[in-house]
Amino acid sequence: MTWPVVYFLCALAALCGASAPDCEDLVQPFVPEDPQTVFGKWVYVMGAGDPLPYHQAVASLKSSWIDVSPTSENNIVTLRWGDYCFNRCIFGEANATVTELAITFRKNLCDHKGYILKTCPDCLLWTDTFQNLDVKGRFIMQFTRSGSIDPKDIEVFKKQVGCLNFLENFHKYDGITELCPDDKQSTD
């Protein structure tokens, strides 16, 4: 091979490598320029848990939504959810404290600390770790406004799951199971 061809191939390889985001970029906590973009209802589309019992718990979700709303306190938001699992709707609500990049709250006797990660437009990617006494676990959950997601965004999610060492066989919302009713939904 001549030097110009070798140089061209090396340059092409460097460009190709630079265009694909690496793990460091894919798992950086994300703070939106306008926090208002996080408020409102989000529909679960896919996720994973770790260790295995928590991964199986995510798989039990047949449908899920969350609603994030501001409170009168600058660093507190309200999280509400409706999960359809085990043939019934399970609802919950918690106040979460927002400090710099992290969001902390207590749910089902577990202390959660989580982050929003950069993801597709009209998407919310949440990852958190939790502890209940001596039991530790973690989740990653992708939400969208519509409950559907573009296949190219699924590929990015797969990379993020891999970067964070979650099981690759993540759970996906089937798009058919109805969402639990939201009695507090605004009628705007």
In a domain, 77, yes or no: yes
Query: Rounded to whole angstroms, how far apart are CA atoms 107 and 81?
Result: 11
Does residue 14 register a pLDDT over 60?
A: no
In a domain, 2, yes or no: no
pLDDT at 20: 52
Number of domain units in the chain: 1
Residue 139: count other Cβ atoms within 10 Å of its Cβ. 20
Query: Rounded to whole angstroms, how far apart are CA atoms 26 and 19?
Result: 13
In a domain, 180, yes or no: no
In a domain, 11, yes or no: no
For the four alpha carbons of 104, 105, 106 and 110, in that order, the dihedral sign comes to: negative
Write down the H helix ranges in 82-121.
Answer: none
The amino acid occupying position 46 is M
pLDDT at 183: 83
In a domain, 177, yes or no: no
pLDDT in tens, 83-139: 999 999 999 999 999 987 889 998 878 889 999 999 998 899 999 999 878 889 999
Query: Rounded to whole angstroms, how far apart are CA atoms 31 and 15?
Result: 28
DSSP output for 14-79: HHHHHHSPPHHHHT-B---SSGGGG-EEEEEEEEEEESHHHHHHHHT-SEEEEEEEE-SSTTEEEE
In a domain, 185, yes or no: no
In a domain, 132, yes or no: yes
CATH of the domain at 96: 2.40.128.20
pLDDT in tens, 147-184: 999 999 999 999 999 999 998 889 999 888 999 999 87
Domain span at 105: 21-32+41-172
In a domain, 114, yes or no: yes
